[in-house]
Chains A and B, each alone.
Chain A
């Protein structure tokens, strides 16, 4: 069988029904095999979007996302998307074309060493040297991407390898001697953790993105309810625990809520669950007191002890570990502690100004969205307006580029999300900066009739950078996006409907119109550049 056809068959074996990509000269054999297959291919308008869409698709479907690009510039355009997926531990299999094997290393047309380039932000990567290795490599790639701590795996496919003739086979099992991720938590450590929890007076759960990735929501909810322990979460952990629950405290971090950060400072024991204690969450905010006891549960042993010393590490799959703990956890009387935290919580107030109040806009939109809605934020002020004011009801989902903070992530990731879950409402929230980093994807949205709603907060500035400049230097520069286009008219050029909102009072009708509209819709909200993030 032709290797390219075998490759497509491997994808089918792995349950892949949708891929995101952009063809080119040195990936044509794979595309020819795709043409003959039932796999849906979404043609993006620039390769970075293929990686972001596969990312959004993976996060919503729970499957490994697949994206494809050609050699050289096609592959290098994927890089930001691959790094974004790596930082947020999103399972991707990334296929790139490569120049013919005999020409590698000679700086020929569209040659780039993508394996070398992505070494530091792929979980693993391969340059295929012998077509006979393809079955093993594909089997390993999907296994590595989706198990343990998930992440992107790249397979670089030289032109001649795609065209080679190989006997078809697909291994049932994987054997990689250096890769055996731990699943079950160590019983002794779990015992120690439960004892520490029992001895604590003000225990707190800090839920991270790992809970969302491991789909351990039910187990976490049970753990908190059975033990009585309240929950804070990171940006990536948004949605790990329902925000309408009495044990819910809020989001921590440099852009989190001060009462949630305060809660961490007051706790005498914190159970980190799938949180890597990034510099923007607990690491950089110095909210962890020195004498605090820390139980750290994570699938990746390298995250434990990296930022803060841990008293009790537990390595393994969060779902499995939480199930193990749930069998033995005892109810604690945390009523006084819960009451203290409840009293600290401040209600948000939304003022009406000259232009649209973006925080109020998100809250109004949140109230109108369904119980299974997905909100995808871009990066910048819009990300925290969205993260702070979108309610995490059970069944909903919030996604953003947390680790990498990649502008332009929101729209393509939302495309992937909508394709993974066509029956769920999907909203992309972005600023005018991030929108223009991915606005070419309006083409993909229009061509594929992706029924996705875009909320664009237009303050004609790179608002978050401007805010930092003002704070640090007392003045700002190079952040004004002068002569922005008429975004509603731009959408119209693609056949996408939209409205511009300049006042809070028009938000409700605009969102009603967007949500009842069949097909993609843009709501541009004009925002004052002096609007603060927090």
Chain B
């Protein structure tokens, strides 16, 4: 994915204390812009996987990949292609919802295949997953009702098809 110089990197790391700090520190230290970073354990409990959305031209992207690869705890770095990958993000959003607006909000929630996870006399809390465009569109539609709070996980992504990240060569290895 490289719209507006945005790139999505999928990074396998050792599941060890301090890895997150090493990776995030590398971005701030070298002045690379980072839009989001999500991390969680993988099918192998000793390995975690990060999805990092970065901004930069091809030079910056190349540098980011090389510098990430230099970290001992980083096992593999791949860039996910927009057309060959699935991108998802989870959002929880709390909006104002009174009797007169509740029904119309739920209607939008249904259209987006999101779900209401909490209701109060004044608000509705909605959970939704989707790619960024879908999430942004939903936020836009909620704005007129009054958004109280938003929390997002950041993008997470996987390549389509049967290929796995482990089958890629590490940067610098011979073809």
B29 nearest CB neighbor, chain A only: A120
Q: List 29 A-B contacts (CB under 8 A).
A: A116-B18, A116-B21, A119-B18, A119-B21, A123-B72, A127-B18, A129-B17, A144-B72, A177-B14, A178-B14, A178-B72, A178-B73, A178-B74, A178-B75, A178-B76, A179-B72, A180-B173, A182-B172, A182-B173, A182-B174, A301-B66, A301-B69, A301-B172, A302-B66, A302-B67, A302-B69, A305-B59, A305-B62, A306-B66
CB proximity to B under 8 Å, residues A62-78 = none
Q: Does A115 contact B (CB under 8 A)?
A: yes
Report whether A177 and B75 are in contact in the complex, using a CB–CB cutoff of 8 Å.
yes
Instruction: State A302–B70 Cα separation when bound (angstroms).
Output: 8
A186 to B172 alpha-carbon distance, docked (Å)? 10
Min CB–CB distance B96 → chain A (angstroms): 41
Query: For the complex, what is the distance from the CA of A437 to the CA of B75, rounded to whole Å?
Result: 41
Residues of A within 8 A of B75 (CB): 177-178
List CB contacts (< 8 Å) of B65-114 with chain A.
66-67, 69-76
8 A Cβ contacts from A83-129 to B? 115-116, 119-120, 123-124, 127, 129
Residues 283-317 of A contacting B (Cβ, < 8 Å): 300-302, 305-306, 315
- Supposing A127-B17, A305-B62, A306-B63 touch, asked if A176 and B72 sit within 8 A by C-beta, the answer is yes
> Chain B residues with Cβ under 8 A from A305's Cβ?
59, 62
Whether B22 is near chain A, meaning CB under 8 Å from some CB there, is: yes
Inter-chain CA distance A180–B74, complex, in Å, is 11
- Is B171 part of the binding interface, using a Cβ–Cβ cutoff of 8 Å? yes
Q: Which of A123, A186, A306 contacts B174 (CB 8 A)?
A: A186
Q: Is the interface of A mostly helix, strand, loop or mixed?
A: loop
> Could you tell me the dominant secondary structure of chain B's interface residues?
mixed
Question: Does B25 make an interface contact (CB < 8 A)?
Answer: yes
B29 contacts which chain A residues (CB < 8 A)? 120
Most buried by B among A120, A127, A178: A178
**How many angstroms from the CA of A22 to the CA of B62 in the assembled complex?**
42
B170 within 8 A of A: yes
A99 to chain B, nearest CB (A): 17
Cβ proximity bits A122-156 to B, threshold 8 Å, 1 near / 0 not: 01100101000000000000001000000000000
Q: Are A115 and B18 in contact (CB under 8 A)?
A: yes
Q: Output the nearest chain A residue to B71 by Cβ-Cβ distance.
A: A178
Residues in chain B near residue A120, CB distance under 8 A: 25-26, 29
Sample of 12 further A-B pairs with CB below 8 A, known A177-B14, A182-B172, A301-B171 = A115-B18, A120-B25, A124-B72, A127-B17, A129-B17, A144-B72, A178-B13, A178-B75, A182-B173, A300-B70, A301-B172, A302-B67
